[in-house]
Structures are given as structure tokens and as C-alpha cells.
Amino acid sequence: MFIITERELKKRWESLRTQYNRYNRTCASGISRTARQGWVLQRLKFLDPHLRKKDTQSTLDFQEAVGDTLREDLEMVVEQSSSSCSPFNGPDVDTESGIEGVRADHARQLASAPKRKRKRRPGAQEQEDLAGQRAQLLQDLSSTLQAIGKEDEISVFCKFADSRMRLIADRAHLMYVQNTIQQTLIRVLAAQTSGRDPVSRGSPGAAHAASGPPRTRLDAAGPLIGKRSPGDVEDAPPDTPAPSQSSSDEDELFFKSLVQTLKRLPPPKKAAAKLQIHQLLFDAEFN
């Protein structure tokens, strides 16, 4: 007689019952049995009278043991197997090794079964979402502060000039403002290169800044279409004074800044751009 506790005996009995029911269902479904399964089913045939069948919606029948009433039968099996046992279609195996084999098969089946993924708790998911939102907010705030820090007085003035120029409804006046700004920039850069003071009272640039927009289409467009001839000035209206040499130089600098862009354009677009420039100058002068 083996010395075994009641708890261990109940545990082994439940394992045997589970394996016996599983083997019975496997054989009933038409799957071929192994030698170990056949040996286990042959040895535990005495359990059939003590099991009752329970019908379910599936085609397989589940078998349930009656539990506590079969403990005495299990002890009798242990006593019989300890004395003598003949294997069923296999080598000599005692009951203890058969039980261990059944338990090993059950462990392998549990290991091969797919593991269920643990679902995240709603609280953990919300915390992750909040952490992501906080990180994104801090990143946006940091980029905004960096952009504000990079703005200097030049960028602020450009924004101010942009907002004011959009309020000008007359297109001719808008073109005049743009032309004046471009000429001023060219004059200041040229004076900086030559070492002159562009804002002195007696400088030619200051006199040109007070002279206003060009009065004739020929004077404004002459440097663009080619070299000016001596008769260009005589073709101007009598009431228009002849432009000074400094004004002509600044106009040439302005139009020379457009030469590289015009050279990069294909011939059709270049002709269209020249026509639009002539039209803008004509509208600014006579409209």
C-alpha cells in the first residue's frame, strides 16, 4: 500500500478522470489511438459504470465523474496495480508509470495549445494616450517658442509691410510701392559695396527717392529691351525732364536683377513675361 495523502490522491484522480474522458472523446470522433491511449483506456474500463453522460449541443458527449464516491475504487486500482499488471499490447508498465505518462501527455497538450493574449486594462490604455498627448503638446510648444525666438526686427517689419501692402486697392500704386522698395534695397546695397552713405542729404539716391515714380514708359522699359539710343530722351513728352545719370543707373541695376531670371525661362514664357512687364509699366504710367 502506497503512503499518499488525500489531497494528492484527489489531484491524481482528477487528472485520470480528465484524461480518460478526453481519450474517450478522441476515439469517438474517429481519430486513431496510440498504444499508450489504448493501454490507459483498457486499464480504466472499470470507471464506465461510475460515469454518467451529459448531453450538450455539440455532437460529442461529455463525461463527468461522480467525484467522492470513486475514491475507494481508485485505491483498489492502486492496490491491484502494485501487485501485478499485464500491459495491453505493449511492454511491461506499472500503474504509476502509466499515470505519469498520462500526466506528461496532458502537459504536452497544454504546452502546445495557443496562448491567449492578455487584454490591456482600460486604465492603462488611457494613461498611455494621455502620455502621448502630453508629449505632442510639449513638442508643439517647444517648436512654437523656437519660432518666436527666431523672429527679429526684420521679420517683424516684413510682416507689417505685407499686411499694409495688401490694403492697397490700386494695382498701379501697389506696383509703385514694390518698385520703390526694390530700388531702395538695390541702392543701399550698392552704396554699402562702394562705401558711400545711402541716406545722406546730398547723395543722388536721396534725390531719386523724392522724385517719385517714373513718368514715361520709354525711360522705364528702355534698359530692359536693349541699349538706349541718344534719341530716346527726345522722344519723351516735352514736359517730362530728362532722367539723371544716377536714376538711370539705379533703373539699370533693378532690371539687371531680372536678367538672370529671364535667361532661365524658355522663349515663350520669356516673351510673355516681357509683355506683362511692359503692360504693368504702361498701366502705372497712364492709368
**In this predicted model, what pLDDT tens digit does every residue of 172-228 receive, in sequence order?**
888 888 887 887 777 777 777 777 765 554 444 444 444 444 444 434 444 443 444
Q: Which is higher by pLDDT, 49 or 276?
A: 276
Mean pLDDT of the chain: 66
Same domain, 185 and 274: yes
Instruction: Tell me what the mean pLDDT of segment 147-169 comes to.
Output: 72
Domain membership of residue 146 (yes or no) is: no
Q: Which of 53-62, 130-139, 224-233 has the lowest mean pLDDT?
A: 224-233
Q: CA-CA distance, 20 to 18, in Å (whole number)? A: 6
Among 111, 136, 163, give the residue marking a domain's end: 111
Same domain, 105 and 176: no
> 96: pLDDT confidence band, cut at 50, 70 and 90?
low
Beta bridge partners of 52: 64
Domain membership of residue 31 (yes or no) is: yes
Is the whole-model pTM more than 0.95? no
> 237: pLDDT confidence band, cut at 50, 70 and 90?
very low
Among 68, 90, 111, give the residue marking a domain's end: 111
pLDDT over 70 at 45, yes or no: yes
Same domain, 186 and 279: yes
Q: In this predicted structure, what is the pLDDT of residue 269? A: 81
The answer to whether residues 52 and 21 touch, using CB atoms and an 8 Å cutoff, is no
- The total of structural domains in the chain comes to 2
Domain membership of residue 120 (yes or no) is: no
Q: Which is higher by pLDDT, 23 or 66?
A: 23
Q: In this predicted structure, what is the pLDDT of residue 149? A: 62
3-state secondary structure of 164: helix
DSSP for 10-69, written as a single string: HHHHHHHHHHHHHHHHHHHTTPPPPHHHHHHHHHTGGGGGGEEEE--SSSSPEEEE-GGG
Q: In this predicted structure, what is the pLDDT of residue 38? A: 79
**In this predicted model, what pLDDT tens digit does every residue of 102-155 receive, in sequence order?**
667 767 766 666 666 565 556 677 778 888 888 888 888 777 777 666 665 666
Cα–Cα separations (whole angstroms), residue 80 to 24, 51, 85, 205: 23, 21, 7, 124
Among 89, 111, 133, give the residue marking a domain's end: 111
Q: In this predicted structure, what is the pLDDT of residue 236? A: 42
Q: Could you tell me whether strands 62-65 and 51-54 are parallel, antiparallel, or unpaired per DSSP bridges? A: antiparallel
Same domain, 176 and 99: no
Task: Tell me the residue range of the domain where 101 lies.
Answer: 6-111
Q: CA-CA distance, 163 to 158, in Å (whole number)? A: 9
**In this predicted model, what pLDDT tens digit does every residue of 3-30 receive, in sequence order?**
788 888 888 888 877 877 787 777 766 6
Q: In this predicted structure, what is the pLDDT of residue 46? A: 77
Domain membership of residue 35 (yes or no) is: yes
Q: In this predicted structure, what is the pLDDT of residue 272? A: 80
